[in-house]
Amino acid sequence: MTYQTLSQEVLDRSKPPKAGPPKDVTFPEYYDTTLPNGINLIVITNNKIPAVSVRLVFKESGSYHDGEKYGLASVTAELLTKGTVSRSAEEIAEQIDYIGGSISSDSDWDGTFLSLSVLKKHLPKGIEILSDVLQNPVFPEDEITRIKEQRISSVIQNKSNPDYLSDRMFSNVVFGNHPYAHPSEGTEQSIKSISRPDIINFYRKHYKSGKLILAFVGDITREEALGITEKYFSNLPSGDENENKLKIYLLDDTKPNSVYIVDKPGAVQANTKLGNIGVKRNNPDYIKIMVMNTLLGGYFGSRINYLLREEHGFTYGARSGFDSRIYPGEFSVNADVRTEVTDTSVSLIISELKRIREEKVSEDELSKVKNYLSGIFPLGLETANSVASRVIGLKLYNLPKDYYNKYISEIMSVTAEDVLETARKYIKPDNLAIVVSGEAKVLKNMLAKFGEVKVFNSDMKPLELN
């Protein structure tokens, strides 16, 4: 009888077991070396699947370096796979398809990216094509014309998208004369102005060995990767990431709250975006910022989403975030709300921005956020490719090699006092750019309580309302 009672207590499933504290994840080991020509070679060996992915990242070669030709970096990157000295765009696509692989090229603000994925047995052919695409592009006039036409058509279509309009105006307002003020995909005028000589000059200026991070991931050894790099990439022109660095722009985040409306006649919703300048990715407070923002508006259970969606029913979802890059990006809060509740929504968002600066978060709320962040982190390490992305990020943003080995413990060490201090340092509710895309004639008077109101059309030109 005594035995049965004890057994029932041991097997009692009515109460969940108490979870232990989250523990750091051991980040996978990887080979990391810089070759004499400046190439930073990374090898992540994982032979569970007989396949290899190759990723090339050219630092300081992204849209930040477009100059007045907005979209130049992304157009150049897109054209890499559209023809070489020995292969047409169709031949590149056919030869990669024939071996069951994939090849792509792209860019963002911080760099240009090329990727190859292929079975191990087809790696020699895949590398030969990748090397050809990188080192022998011809930038055919017909492909340039086609891509420019597609870009311009896309920009025109986006003028009916309230998210796009708000993003464009927000960037213009927050970043002023900084490169981030302009769309990385380009504008109608800038795309039209891009010529083949512009593309060739950009390619020659930025695709240098000293800017290159070259990562091999999968069923490959460091010796194989070194041999491939020497054979196929040793002839890249020299030059380092500092060669063409631009000046660092000073950004003003002290301006008082002001309102910018992008008119979208007939709209029944208002796309609302408010915020200001954010932080660099390698900011030493980044993990504290991430915890603070997750609590504020960074996940479904956040304060802002709960307030606008669950409590008031104003939106399907509201979020906040720091878009962190090599240079300080933006902090913003976004929500699509019914036009008639736009002013109330803005007021509620601002109240939450102030509250997180004024009130210490409860231990229960903070614990939920930290457990959420520490719980999702290991999911991002399930594949070799996801590990490679994080390793490239370490290199691109000059983060320490052990950054992810102590990532969870850094999250769990954040205190309520840290959240309060971080919010006071980086959340600025009195210096907001408040941008709304919607029916201007309804919104203008409604939003005047928040600051000076300016109205613009879909081309970002000032608009006088009748």
Tell me: the pLDDT tens digits for 248-284? 666 677 789 999 999 999 999 999 999 999 999 999 9
Residue indicated by tokens 């939106």: 315
Structure tokens at 257: 């709250």
Cα torsion 143, 145, 151, 157 to 10°: value is -130
Residue 244 belongs to some domain of the structure: no
Count CB atoms within 10 A of the CB of residue 3: 7
Task: Indicate if 270 and 419 belong to the same structural domain.
Answer: yes
Task: Indicate if 177 and 37 belong to the same structural domain.
Answer: yes
Identify which of 132, 131, 129 has the alpha carbon closest to the alpha carbon of residue 100. Answer: 129
Residue 18 belongs to some domain of the structure: no
Residue 365 belongs to some domain of the structure: yes
Identify which of 60, 28, 72, 71 has the alpha carbon closest to the alpha carbon of residue 397. Answer: 60
pLDDT category at 381 given cuts 50, 70, 90 is confident
Residue 162: phi and psi, rounded to 5, are: -60, -35
47 vs 355, more confident: 355
Residue 171 is part of a domain; what is its CATH number? 3.30.830.10
Q: Are strands 452-456 and 258-263 parallel, antiparallel or unpaired?
A: parallel
Residue 25, pLDDT score:
80
Average pLDDT on 150-164 reads 95
The three-state secondary structure class of 335 is strand
The three-state secondary structure class of 45 is strand
Give Cβ neighbours of residue 96 (< 8 Å, ≥ 6 apart): 102, 103, 126, 129
Give Cβ neighbours of residue 4 (< 8 Å, ≥ 6 apart): none
Task: Indicate if 142 and 278 belong to the same structural domain.
Answer: no
From CA 206, how far away is CA 76, in angstroms rounded? Answer: 11
Would the pLDDT of 5 be above 50? Answer: no
The three-state secondary structure class of 334 is strand
Count of domains forming the chain = 2
Task: Indicate if 317 and 435 belong to the same structural domain.
Answer: yes
Residue 242, pLDDT score:
67
From CA 303, how far away is CA 273, in angstroms rounded? Answer: 17
- Give Cα separations from 225 to 43, 48, 218, 239, 407 (angstroms): 7, 17, 11, 22, 29
- Running DSSP on this structure, what letter comes out for residue 86? S
Would the pLDDT of 380 be above 90? Answer: no
Would the pLDDT of 368 be above 70? Answer: yes
Residue 241, pLDDT score:
64
Residue 245 belongs to some domain of the structure: no
- Give Cα separations from 281 to 110, 153, 327, 394, 448 (angstroms): 11, 33, 8, 10, 35
Task: Indicate if 46 and 146 belong to the same structural domain.
Answer: yes
From CA 122, how far away is CA 111, in angstroms rounded? Answer: 28
Residue 23, pLDDT score:
78
- Give Cα separations from 144 to 77, 153, 197, 291 (angstroms): 12, 14, 11, 44
Average pLDDT on 414-442 reads 97
Give Cβ neighbours of residue 108 (< 8 Å, ≥ 6 apart): 62, 63, 184
Residue 147, pLDDT score:
97
Residue 420 belongs to some domain of the structure: yes
Residue 374, pLDDT score:
95
Residue 6, pLDDT score:
44
Average pLDDT on 224-230 reads 97
Average pLDDT on 363-383 reads 93
Last residue of a domain, one of 233, 266, 301: 233
Task: Indicate if 103 and 219 belong to the same structural domain.
Answer: yes
Contact 313, 344 (CB under 8 A): no
Contact 81, 132 (CB under 8 A): no
Contact 79, 228 (CB under 8 A): no
Last residue of a domain, one of 191, 218, 233: 233
Task: Indicate if 308 and 188 belong to the same structural domain.
Answer: no
Last residue of a domain, one of 194, 218, 233: 233
Whole-number mean pLDDT of the chain? 93
Ranking 15-24, 99-108, 313-322 by mean pLDDT, the lowest is 15-24
**Model confidence pLDDT, tens digit, residues 114-125:** 999 999 999 999
Task: Indicate if 210 and 263 belong to the same structural domain.
Answer: no
Contact 429, 296 (CB under 8 A): no
Task: Indicate if 226 and 262 belong to the same structural domain.
Answer: no
Residue 422 belongs to some domain of the structure: yes
Return the percentage of the chain with pLDDT > 70, whole number: 93
The pTM for the full model equals: 0.90
Give Cβ neighbours of residue 183 (< 8 Å, ≥ 6 apart): 70, 71, 155, 168, 171
Domain assignment of residue 58, given as a range = 31-233
pLDDT category at 239 given cuts 50, 70, 90 is confident
Buried b (16+ CB within 10 A) or exposed e, 35-74: bebbbbbbbbbbeeeebbbbbbbbbbbbbbbbeebbbbbb
Residue 12, pLDDT score:
62
Average pLDDT on 390-412 reads 94
Task: Indicate if 325 and 199 belong to the same structural domain.
Answer: no
Task: Indicate if 221 and 329 belong to the same structural domain.
Answer: no
pLDDT category at 437 given cuts 50, 70, 90 is very high
- The distance in angstroms from the start CA to the end CA of the chain is 88
The three-state secondary structure class of 221 is coil
Task: Indicate if 381 and 290 belong to the same structural domain.
Answer: yes
Side chain identity at residue 410, one-letter code: E
From CA 153, how far away is CA 222, in angstroms rounded? Answer: 45
